[in-house]
């Protein structure tokens, strides 16, 4: 079992090294920008795959729109103290004036809010990787108060000339 773990860790290390090497320019520099932004989304329906769709605005270090397509899987426990717990999985698109990122996310839902991680490539060759935390609950209507999340992310890509 230790050999499999060592092989896995070695493969992860090689993947990370080659990924950053591919992004590096002639000076071996990688552009990494930390951003903090909010997204405020409202449910708008269900798509053809049966995923819940929410749309909204992004503000802060990023300005634009966000679309989220996902599903909630409640905790299968019959324990009443675990009501409201579960997992989130799905896809996102964040669009600004200069770049659009599209990727996937996973998260956890608790009675006090949702939190999780996301990763997606951008139309400019960058990659966004971040975390989200729910800080306000909406009323779950298309025109009412939105759910609000704070996001912290790193955007990485080639150094710009």
pLDDT value at 23 more than 80: no
Provide, rounded to the nearest whole percent, the portion of the chain with pLDDT above 70: 77
Which CATH number covers residue 128?
A: 2.40.350
Contact between residue 39 and residue 151 where contact means Cβ atoms under 8 Å apart: yes
Whether 1 maps to a domain, the answer reads no
The confidence band for 27, taking pLDDT boundaries of 50, 70 and 90, is low
Provide, rounded to the nearest whole percent, the portion of the chain with pLDDT above 90: 62
Cβ neighbours of residue 18 under 8 Å, at least 6 residues apart? none
Domain that holds residue 38: 30-158
Give me the mean pLDDT over the 10-19 stretch.
54
The mean predicted confidence, pLDDT, of the chain is: 85
pLDDT value at 54 more than 70: yes
Whether 56 maps to a domain, the answer reads yes
Whether 46 maps to a domain, the answer reads yes
Q: What is the chain's alpha carbon radius of gyration, rounded to the nearest angstrom?
A: 18
* Phi then psi dihedrals of residue 24, to 5 deg: -75, 145
DSSP SS3 for 45: strand
Contact between residue 29 and residue 161 where contact means Cβ atoms under 8 Å apart: no
pLDDT tens sequence across 89-146: 999 999 999 999 999 999 999 988 999 999 999 999 999 999 999 999 999 888 889 9
Query: Burial, 92: exposed, middle or buried (Cβ in 10 Å; 0-12, 13-18, 19+)?
Result: buried
pLDDT value at 1 more than 50: no
Give me the mean pLDDT over the 24-44 stretch.
82
pTM: 0.77
* Phi then psi dihedrals of residue 82, to 5 deg: -105, 10
* Pick from 83-92, 117-126, 146-155: least confident: 83-92
Whether 83 maps to a domain, the answer reads yes
Whether 117 maps to a domain, the answer reads yes
In eight-state DSSP terms, residue 27 is T
Strand ranges (E), the chain? 30-46, 52-60, 64-74, 86-95, 100-110, 113-121, 127-136, 147-158
CA distance 152 to 132: 7
Give how many domains the chain has, as a whole number: 1
Question: Taking the CA of residue 160 as centre, how many other CA atoms within 13 Å lie in the half-sphere pointing to its CB?
Answer: 7
């Amino acid at each position: 079992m230790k050999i499999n773990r060592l092989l896995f860790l070695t493969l992860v290390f090689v993947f990370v090294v080659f990924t950053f090497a591919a992004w590096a320019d002639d000076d071996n520099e990688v552009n990494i920008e930390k951003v903090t932004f909010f997204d405020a989304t409202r449910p708008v329906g269900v798509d053809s795959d049966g995923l819940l769709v929410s749309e909204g605005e992004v503000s802060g270090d990023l300005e634009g729109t966000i679309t989220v397509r996902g599903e909630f899987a409640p905790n299968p426990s019959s324990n009443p103290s675990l009501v409201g717990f579960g997992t989130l999985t799905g896809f996102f698109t964040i669009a600004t004036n200069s770049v659009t990122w599209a990727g996937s996310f996973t998260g956890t839902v608790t009675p006090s809010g949702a939190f999780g991680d996301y990763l997606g490539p951008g139309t400019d060759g960058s990659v966004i990787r971040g975390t989200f935390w729910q800080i306000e609950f909406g009323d779950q209507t298309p025109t009412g108060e939105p759910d609000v999340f704070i996001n912290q992310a790193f955007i990485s890509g080639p150094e710009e000339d």
